[in-house]
Amino acid sequence: MRLLFLGDVSGRTGRNAVCDQLPAMRERLAADFVIVNGENSAGGFGITEQIFQNLIDAGADVVTTGNHVWDQREALVFIARQNRLLRPLNYPTGTPGAGAGLFRAANGAEVLVMNVLGRIFMDAMDDPFQRVEQEVAACPLMQGADAIFIDIHAEATSEKQGLAAAFDGRVSAVVGTHTHVPTADARIMPGGTAFMTDVGMCGDFDSIIGMEKGEPVHRFVTRIPSGRFTPATGAATICGVLIETDDATGLAVSIEPIQEGAALGGGRTRREG
């Protein structure tokens, strides 16, 4: 099975690029199942129901989120009727929505998708390791699911690597989101789990993690806010990974980073003139 995952969609530029390009990308890469992290898709903060539906219509099977999931207050309501939108699994009991789900891929396979938040340098949450353990125990690889994918939305690289190490050989893939910068460590771990510390974002990389540079720089220099953060609106780069799993074991046989667009996908790495 071939799983395509696209990283944090950032603002209008990112979501337009994903909605425009995902249909052809899915066909070109022969992806059986597509997951998109959409937590920054509404003006850089959260997701609306209309944007969620646009991502689904473009070819996403599941949309994951992260620490900005509730920034658009309507998400607290519409997530209850949209089971293909996941909020982090380790929110407290009683939080609207679900953090994991079993979904049918185009090839008929069953894919368990989980979305968890890290706890290092983040708001206090339930233990992601315990919550993932509960889901994996209830729906083991090749018993309850043909593939298991985890989007860990976390700040610390060590925590992302730790989760992957803890579940190596028991899940198909663990891929990190949140920092918006793709890492160079895509690999298959010894037990057969595909891993990448951070997949990067879908948005304008002539920015500071997807935002126009002026206000972040001002705050770094002066420590004083002077306005709102606003998403950058230049040409977008789409970042993701394509993972192929073994139909007999559910474990990964390959992981390929995807970086397509102006900044990282064939863009200039030196200044001309």
CATH code: domain of residue 189: 3.60.21.10
How many C-beta atoms surround the C-beta of residue 11 within 10 A?
Answer: 26
Indicate the number of domains in the chain.
1
The answer to whether residue 266 sits within a structural domain is: no
Which residues are catalytically annotated? 68
The answer to whether residue 269 sits within a structural domain is: no
The answer to whether residue 229 sits within a structural domain is: yes
The mean of the pLDDT values for the chain is: 95
The pTM of this model reads 0.95
Its domain, for residue 49, covers 2-261
The answer to whether residue 273 sits within a structural domain is: no
The answer to whether residue 254 sits within a structural domain is: yes
The answer to whether residue 144 sits within a structural domain is: yes
The answer to whether residue 267 sits within a structural domain is: no
- Integer Cα distance of 245 and 59 in angstroms: 20
pLDDT tens-digit profile of 55-66? Answer: 999 999 999 999
Query: Tell me, what's the pLDDT at 265?
Result: 64
- Integer Cα distance of 193 and 168 in angstroms: 5
pLDDT tens-digit profile of 200-244? Answer: 999 999 999 999 999 999 999 999 999 999 999 999 999 999 999
- Integer Cα distance of 91 and 74 in angstroms: 18
41 to 71, 197, 208: CA distances (angstroms): 11, 21, 16
DSSP 87-130: --TTSPTT-SSBSEEEEE-TTS-EEEEEEEE--TTS-----HHH
